[in-house]
Amino acid sequence: MPLNEDYWALTVALAAEAHEATEAVANFLWEVGATGVIEEEDRAFRGLRAFFPPPSDPAALRDRLTGYLDELRALDIPLGSGEVEVRLLPGEAWADLWRSHFRPLPIGRRLLVCPPWEAPAGPPPVGPAGPRTVVLIEPGRAFGNGSHATTRGCLELLERALDAVPVARLLDVGTGSGVLAIAAARLGVHDVRAIDSDPDAVAAATANAARNDVAGRVSVELGSLETWVGPPADLVLANLLGSAHVALAPALARRSAAAGCLIAGGLLVHEVPAVVGAFVPEGFHLVELVEHEGWATLFLARGARGV
């Protein structure tokens, strides 16, 4: 088998409660050239697995990663064992491993998020509200293949919100892979604006919008919420961190129409009071909250609207 088809598979063992380290190490692995990073948890192993194409140097990779783990330890960030292994995967084995990690995910009553190679060949599976709306997302570097608890919470509240209130224009702040914006367009919203401050996310979201035939409805722009200028939206989606919601509440509220609604994801359950408190002075109240794996997603509205 030619050497240029072989891949290096790196695993790093991280404890289940090491959320911060897992996120930081995943970013680090992407930055040093991984073509795929997946979080794994089974009886034998818990941590991250990353794939590196040739001509990566396995010894150099291991050294850089162990150096980075030492830096995290020096900052007292809990890691778990941090044990690193690098081994060669022949030929297509890495692609099989990568692909086998991503499965179609039914979400809520109406959505099915799946990787392109799992697109249903025939009619889509039927959920409690009829045939599911398929959202194809290529799992790549940009966050949001539907499996994260925060993305799932946002998608569940999105479909309920769209059943309950008229939404002509929607803004997705921090679109990542584009999953929320694309789901909104596939569920019928005509004018979807998606922004992200990360160029990789913009590229991924643009490609995913085209893959779902909604490029005409979803406009993806590189930019930060803080400086973005655009028309007010009937529904604003923002799956960001709790601290970002507190800091950005006024800016998010400004992008929301006078009778608009907002779905805020990415906060931990203990951050709910602070985030709701940041939106109250902006005229919003909490209508509904969903929780998955310790992550809360909020549906907030102005006026008397509910879901």
d(CA 182, CA 178): 6
Residue 65 or 177 having the CB closest to ligand SAH: 177
Applying CB under 6 A, which of residues 22, 133, 151, 297 lies at the interface with ligand SAH?
A: 151
Q: Establish if 144 lies at the interface with ligand SAH (CB under 6 A).
A: yes
Residue 66 or 224 having the CB closest to ligand SAH: 224
Is residue 216 exposed (0-12), middle (13-18) or buried (19+ Cβ within 10 Å)? exposed
Applying CB under 6 A, which of residues 14, 137, 192, 195 lies at the interface with ligand SAH?
A: 195
- CB within 8 A of 216, min separation 6: which ones? none
Q: Establish if 179 lies at the interface with ligand SAH (CB under 6 A).
A: yes
Contact 259, 302 (CB under 8 A): yes
Question: Using CB under 6 A, which of the segments 43-51, 95-103, 121-129, 224-232 binds ligand SAH?
Answer: 224-232
Applying CB under 6 A, which of residues 133, 175, 206, 256 lies at the interface with ligand SAH?
A: 175
Number of residues that bind ligand SAH (CB under 6 A): 21
Question: Using CB under 6 A, which of the segments 10-18, 44-52, 191-199, 253-261 binds ligand SAH?
Answer: 191-199
Residue 240 is which amino acid? L
Q: Establish if 158 lies at the interface with ligand SAH (CB under 6 A).
A: no
d(CA 1, CA 93): 12
* Side-chain half-sphere exposure of 10, counting CA atoms within 13 A: 32
How far, in Å, are 123, 180, 301 from residue 251 at the CA level? 42, 20, 15
CB of 146 to ligand SAH, least distance (A): 8
Residue 32 or 251 having the CB closest to ligand SAH: 251
Return the residue matching tokens 């790093």. Answer: 12
d(CA 176, CA 196): 7
Q: Is 247 helix (H, G, I), strand (E, B) or coil?
A: helix
Q: Establish if 154 lies at the interface with ligand SAH (CB under 6 A).
A: yes
Residue 114 or 154 having the CB closest to ligand SAH: 154
Residue 89 or 112 having the CB closest to ligand SAH: 112
Residue 94 is which amino acid? W
> Which residue in the shown chain puts its C-beta closest to ligand SAH?
174
Q: Establish if 234 lies at the interface with ligand SAH (CB under 6 A).
A: no
| DSSP letters for 96-137 | HHHHHT---EEETTTEEEE-GGG--SSSPPEETTEEPEEEE-
Q: Establish if 108 lies at the interface with ligand SAH (CB under 6 A).
A: no
Q: Which of 287, 36, 9, 297 is nearest to 142 (CA)?
A: 36
User: Which of positions 124-143 make contact with ligand SAH (CB under 6 A)?
Assistant: 143
CB of 195 to ligand SAH, least distance (A): 5
Which residues would be at the binding site for ligand SAH (CB under 6 A)? Answer: 143-144, 151, 154, 173-176, 179-180, 195-198, 201, 224-226, 239-240, 244
